[in-house]
Structure 1
Amino acid sequence: MPGTLEGRTALVTGGSRGVGAAIALKLAAEGADVAVSHTHSPGSATAATEVVTAVHRLGRRARAYASDQGDTTAVEALIGTVVKDFGRLDILVNSAGVFIAGEVGPDGLDPAASARQIDVNYTGVIAATRAAAAHLPEGGRIVNIGTNAATGRIGFNGLGEYVASKAAVAAYSRGAARDLAGRGITVNVVQPGAINTRMNPEDTEWGAALGATIPAGRYGRPEEVAALVAFLAGPDAAYINGSVINIDGGMDA
């Protein structure tokens, strides 16, 4: 039985690990061909190759691309290359991001780290959205990955700049949703809470303490985030546009 995304091509930025990798595999399971981007590090390239291999096992086309999400020229080139290689682009998932913590004060983030975080988490999303919009057909989908802390009701020491970069994505996405709605393209934001990944493992002292504060009583799984993204990328979500959806086990309830 064909999946809901049969015949479509998706690009998942930051698709080599964690939530991004889970999204790439879920989209492929639903029938999409999948391109994944990753950083230039050898470890990321190896992880991306594993994702591509897993997508191939699902019977879908896949390819990995080394690209710097913080470089707008590289992002624009990535979109063009994906369209050339696959012949089309129907779904863009902006999952690439960096997490750099630092409290306000003289010992906080240095200007270069702060600028890098904004470039990857926010400016890169704008560049990818703008470039993809030139190719997305009617029924195209853009899903941006944020954080539930961007609602403004949850705060953590040292995360102000990170959260601000993600809150900017939510605000931008609402405007982009209006701009592209006339073409039948939707733009939505998925805001995960605590998700069990290599970057934020559940089985640590911090993870146990945080998990105990979540109404669901546990961290989320990357596959749960991926399921929501796949729904928003599919035909049944055509009337969901400009929405910001938390997936956090009730953490922000």
Structure 2
Amino acid sequence: DKDEATPLHCAANNNSKETAEILISNGADINAKDKDEATPLHWAARDNSKETAEIFISNGVDLNAKGKDEATPLHCAANNNSKETAEILISNGADLNAKDKDEATPLHCAANNNSKETAEILISNGADINAKDKDEATPLHYAANNNSKETAEILISNGADINAKDEDGCTPLHYAARYNRKETAEILISNGADLNAKDKDEATPLHWVAQHNNSKETAEILISNGADINAKNKKWMDPSSLCSQ
């Protein structure tokens, strides 16, 4: 079809396990790729077609096949919180810490989409909770960026580095501040995030609130918890100076 999907891709999409078995027994290519280089197993993982996924696996499908963005089926399961299929993939040896083109792992994907159940499954099976992508951001950075507060709580309770820094020296709290993720900011702060952590430009989370969104709510949360309102960045500017720009 226009997506270059085979009948086996369609069977995966609809969890048509009997049809999948017939196709495979008649020689269908179990690792066929569509226009995005996704295999039928990618489709099954995306749509949580767990029974069809089991059929593919029992017939020797490539568990860690990569699409054009280098995402594996486990990345797809994490993106869509397909927890049952994630469990099947993991129990059959899928790479928990496989990296896509951005060097993000399935746990990054789970955090990005607040797929909390899948995050728990990944962590309980040994996924690297502090894995870093190409920008040195961890899953907790992703959770903060997208206000995935439940997943943030899971990551923190399992030992995620709350003050991990990306390549620009930004912590998850910087991300929460920049994008006005006030609920996640509160979770980070209540669990000991450094209110006055400085990035490579010596800007604190409060600088980021002032510079990027001037959010009153997030600013109040930071200040009420002890953020330094007089902290100076590399240009010797405090947060109030940035607000007035």
TM (normalized to structure 2)? 0.27
Q: Which one has a bigger Cα radius of gyration?
A: 2
The structure in which a higher percent of residues are strand is 1
Highest RCO, 1 vs 2 (Cα 8 Å, sep ≥ 6): 1
